[in-house]
């Protein structure tokens, strides 16, 4: 703050942000009601490639429906993981994700190929 006051720090340009959720989050009242999908960061493997773990969790039971190791955060990879979970566990009423790729895109509606498919 002191450096900013003295104008010794350049301001960063503001980034475009996706619109926030205007509704309250749905409370998970029973199994298969609300699922959460997320990539859990990335880490390097012995061959120096990256692993990007994807998880799909039932928010009521806390049961891990999928935990898959991927090489990229792609629509195809997530769709394949979700299709397998849907076949095994059925369809949830709500799927909660963060604002990362491939779940949200920049733009007014923030729709991606994955969100249209879902």
> What CA–CA distances, in Å, run from 118 to 71, 79, 83, 91, 93?
22, 9, 10, 10, 11
CA torsion angle for 78, 59, 85, 53 (degrees, to 10)?
40
Which segments within the chain are labelled E, that is strand? 34-39, 43-44, 50-58, 64-70, 94-97
Does some domain include residue 7? no
Domain that holds residue 113: 27-117
Residue 64: inside a domain: yes
Q: How many CB atoms lie within 10 A of CB 27?
A: 10
Structurally, how many domains does the chain consist of?
A: 1
pLDDT digits (tens, 9 = 90+) for 61-92: 999 999 999 999 999 999 999 999 999 999 99
Mean pLDDT of the chain: 89
Task: Tell me whether residue 36 is in a domain.
Answer: yes
Question: Has residue 61 been placed in a domain?
Answer: yes
Output phi, psi for 77, to 5 deg.
Answer: -65, -50
Instruction: Kindly state whether residue 82 falls inside one of the protein's structural domains.
Output: yes
- Residue in the structure block whose two tokens are 């891990």: 64
pTM of the model: 0.76
C-alpha separations of 20 from 26, 41, 47, 117 in Å: 15, 22, 38, 21
- List the chain pLDDT tens, one digit each, 118 residues: 888 888 888 888 887 765 666 778 899 999 999 999 999 989 999 999 999 999 999 999 999 999 999 999 999 999 999 999 999 999 999 999 987 888 888 766 778 889 889 8
47: number of Cβ within 10 Å: 5
8 occurs within a structural domain? no
CATH at 91: 3.30.420.10
């Amino acid at each position: 703050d002191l450096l900013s006051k003295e104008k010794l720090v350049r301001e960063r340009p503001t980034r475009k942000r996706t619109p926030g959720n205007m509704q309250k989050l749905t409370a998970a009242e029973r199994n298969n009601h609300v699922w959460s999908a997320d990539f859990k960061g990335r880490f390097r493997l012995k061959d120096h490639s990256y692993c990007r773990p994807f998880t799909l969790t039932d928010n009521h039971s806390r049961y891990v429906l999928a935990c898959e190791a991927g090489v990229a955060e792609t629509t195809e990879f997530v769709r394949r993981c979700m299709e397998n979970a849907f076949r095994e566990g059925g369809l949830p009423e709500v799927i909660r994700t963060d604002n990362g790729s491939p779940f949200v895109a920049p733009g007014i509606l923030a729709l991606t190929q994955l969100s249209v498919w879902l």
